[in-house]
Amino acid sequence: MGDRRPYQVTVSDSSGDKQLPILDGTLGPSAINIQRLYADHDLLAFDPGFRSTASCRSAITFIDGEQGILLYRGYPIEELAEHSNFLEVSYLLMFGELPTSAEAQKFENDVRHHTLLHEQILKFYQGFRRDAHPMAIMVGVVGALSAFYNDDIDQMDRVRREEAAVRLIAKMPTIAAASYAYSVGRPIRYPRNDHSYAANFLQMLFGLPSADYVVDPVLAKAIDLIFLLHADHEQNASTSTVRLAASSGANPIACIASGIASLWGPAHGGANEAVIRMLTEIGTVENIPKAIARAKDKEDPFRLMGFGHRVYKNVDPRARVIQKAAKDVLEHLGIDDPLLDIAIQLEQIALKDEYFVERKLYPNVDFYSGILLRAMGFPTNMFTAVFALARTVGWVSHWLELTQDNHGIGRPRQLYVGHPRRPYPSS
């Protein structure tokens, strides 16, 4: 674990010195405990964007951004990607340990038998415009689902908590696939409990009632890998949103709807969709220098989508796994996607460019995931919905952790910069 810093830090102001304790984790930077800063010293900590804030203790996922390391419950993501699968990883994230084969079987069976949606839920889809974005539909439908499971979720009861989490993991593929089916005017397909989690999602998404849909096992494996790589990523914007919503004791399913909303943005989960739009716009390898110049121009809002990360100052380890999977799937399908060539060239040019080197901007998970999803036949507007489906596991794991280690409602303060008190003008 290396050398640790002294036990406390001293903060000085006009009223004198204040001693603040330092907390050590098992890995990663230590944290100054400022919990008593306001109560004891009448001071607040200012950190908009949470660049230096540890918002909670967590034992689920660890990222070393400098080294490009990602661990789920201590296991490196590359090893899990090679040897595990999404449902096993879901169990690991939720419960802290890899399941025995009996536990894995029971967990998978539980998930497979909660995939159906209440028939009333299907009626909600009819209320959306036909051209609605699947993420908009997902925010709405998951929010609506909370109305169906409210009184029976006793958050104080561990068994009921875990049941609620399993239900969500099970229903998310059905909700996501139905969101897409509705948006393109196709009939909504029912889940098939005799299929694996990944294969079931593919048959709901791509199957039609008029023909049998045979799932390609290579594609089922690839989508399972995408789920696994997106399952959790410690205190990112959407997970922090879920934690904050849950800290008030709100219905967990409603909290997941808030996470989906947060994930949708292009700075977060929406980047996978934005990467494909960007690569399509670039169009040819010859146009790459122009795109790089735009990304560097501070007057231009254009950014290289799929590049840069708040935590990673090195290659996102998930990006390398996805890049390889994308190449394998394209080869398996016999597809020669010009966007892959543009992406590879763009990455190579950017990684040698001083602007990107200085700022430590590397490809992130979204840079190649869109190319893989596109090759598998996923429409661009479904990319973020796939991310939301997978991240549901992370969100419920953090919700379960929070219910066991609740520090009360999350309630940040502010540095007020508005008017001082002033009287209402008299007429």
Active-site residues: which are they?
A: 309, 366
Whole-angstrom distance, CA of residue 180 vs CA of residue 185: 9
Close Cβ partners of 197 (under 8 Å, ≥ 6 residues apart): 86, 87, 108, 111, 112, 173, 224, 227
Whole-angstrom distance, CA of residue 409 vs CA of residue 400: 15
Applying CB under 6 A, does 267 fall inside the site for ligand CMC?
Answer: yes
For the bound state, the minimum distance from the C-beta of residue 308 to ligand CMC, rounded and expressed in Å, comes to 2
164 class by beta-carbon count within 10 Å (0-12 exposed, 13-18 middle, 19+ buried) = buried
Pairing type for strands 8-13 and 16-23 reads: antiparallel
**Chosen residue from 145, 340, 346, 365 binding ligand CMC by CB under 6 A:** 365
Whole-angstrom distance, CA of residue 96 vs CA of residue 404: 13
**Chosen residue from 364, 369, 384, 397 binding ligand CMC by CB under 6 A:** 364
Applying CB under 6 A, does 361 fall inside the site for ligand CMC?
Answer: yes
Q: Binding segment for ligand CMC among 77-85, 115-123, 177-185, 305-313 (CB under 6 A)?
A: 305-313
Whole-number CA gyration radius for the chain: 23
Applying CB under 6 A, does 294 fall inside the site for ligand CMC?
Answer: no
**Chosen residue from 143, 366, 373, 402 binding ligand CMC by CB under 6 A:** 366
Applying CB under 6 A, does 269 fall inside the site for ligand CMC?
Answer: yes
**Chosen residue from 134, 308, 370, 394 binding ligand CMC by CB under 6 A:** 308
Applying CB under 6 A, does 395 fall inside the site for ligand CMC?
Answer: no
Applying CB under 6 A, does 309 fall inside the site for ligand CMC?
Answer: yes
Footprint of ligand CMC on 166-205 (CB under 6 A): none
Task: Decide if 30 contacts 24 (C-beta within 8 A).
Answer: yes
Biggest CA-to-CA distance, the chain:
78
Give bridge partners of residue 71 from the DSSP assignment. 62, 76
- Considering the complex, state which of residue 28 and residue 209 has its C-beta at the smaller distance from ligand CMC: 28
Footprint of ligand CMC on 220-249 (CB under 6 A): 236
For the bound state, the minimum distance from the C-beta of residue 400 to ligand CMC, rounded and expressed in Å, comes to 21
Applying CB under 6 A, does 304 fall inside the site for ligand CMC?
Answer: yes
| Distance, C-alpha 180 to centroid of its chain | 19
Applying CB under 6 A, does 277 fall inside the site for ligand CMC?
Answer: no
Whole-angstrom distance, CA of residue 235 vs CA of residue 244: 11
